[in-house]
Amino acid sequence: MTAKLTVVRCGALTTVQDSGRRGHAHLGVPRSGALDAPAMRLANRLLGNAPEAAVLETTLTGCAVRPDRTLTVVVGGAPCPVTVDGRPAPWGAPVRVPAGAVLDAGGVTAGVRSYLAVAGGLAAEPVLGSRSTDLLSGLGPSPLCEGDVLPLGVPARQAALPGAAPWPAPPAELVLPLRLGPRADWFTPAALRTLTSATYRVSPHSNRIGLRTEGPPLMRGTPGELPSEGMVLGAVQVPPDGRPVVFLHDHPTTGGYPVIGVVAETALASAAQAAAGTPVRFTRA
């Protein structure tokens, strides 16, 4: 009989995520998947899961779940208090949760997104090869609500990492390496200097679609609008207000605002953990 988790507290936004659905941009479907993929993979490794096994991604306020049988979980990513039936439990390390007990991953003490991984992974129904929730297209499981029941997979037999592992700290300053183009020529030379010399801050309006910034606007040298063109993960689009937006995993696959540059994918895990108000600097890659 399939093991299950019942959602006791869903938090501000908790979604099922794995490594995402690649290769469907031509259908208008973005990659989706865990925004902090290294945190997802490490949590899974601590349990002996496959690196891409589906996990819960929480946002700021965490979540609480109750298993119907004894199992092992790891809560990692953004640091947060962890309890089992109200008793403190380790963060970032495997925790044994008895059947019927409530595991609570609390509000973050730093960063934005915590990851709750379960031995065997979450067995939500795959859509286009992924179990990830895509907030833009609506594919995959809906964001969690209280009372939702999630099926679990069978724990793997591969070896888990021993005990605990080092976790990266959320960034005190977010440094984003940027390769200019394809529409950098739509901006004035002063705007290009501003982009790589000014300090921006993470906007509280950021989400899984894009990291929005607050700071000096970038002035265009070319007026008018572009026809829609393809967008990639990490694209830095500049809307009419002039403040750069870094596209994250649920980004649209096309767009008409000019892209001044593209951030390397390896830097986006830090972007996922940059809380509102965090300083942001763009550097030339």
pLDDT tens string 142-174: 999 999 999 999 987 766 666 678 899 999 999
The confidence score (pLDDT) of residue 161 equals 64
Helices vs strands, H then E, count in the chain: 3, 20
- 151: DSSP letter: E
Under 8 Å between Cβ of 153 and 122: yes
Work out the percent of the chain whose per-residue pLDDT is above 90. Answer: 90
Asked if residue 230 has pLDDT above 70, the reply is yes
Q: Read off the pTM.
A: 0.96
What is the number of residues in the chain? Answer: 285
Q: Residue 70: which pLDDT band, with cuts at 50, 70 and 90? A: very high
Query: What's residue 26's pLDDT?
Result: 87
Q: Are 183 and 237 in contact (CB under 8 A)?
A: no
Q: Which of the four pLDDT bands, split at 50, 70 and 90, describes residue 219?
A: very high
At 1 the pLDDT is 75
Q: Judge whether 261 and 236 are in contact, CB under 8 Å.
A: yes
Domain 174-284 in this protein, CATH class? mainly beta
pLDDT value of position 245: 98
pLDDT at position 206 over 70:
yes
Ranges 1-5, 6-10, 239-243, 257-261: which has the least confidence: 1-5
Are 273 and 191 within 8 A, CB to CB? no
Residues 81-132 pLDDT 10s:
999 999 999 999 999 999 999 999 999 999 999 999 999 999 999 999 999 9
> What does DSSP assign to residue 80?
-
State residue 156's pLDDT score: 78
3-state secondary structure at position 267: helix
- Residue 178 reports pLDDT greater than 90: yes
- Using one digit for the tens of pLDDT, what is the confidence trace for 251-266? 999 999 999 999 999 9
Confidence of residue 249 (pLDDT cuts 50, 70, 90): very high
Every domain of the chain with CATH number 2.40.100.10 lies at: 174-284
Contact predicate 270/39, CB 8 Å:
no
Residue 162, pLDDT score: 67
Cα-based torsion angle of the residue sequence 173, 174, 175, 179 in order, rounded to the nearest 10 degrees: -160
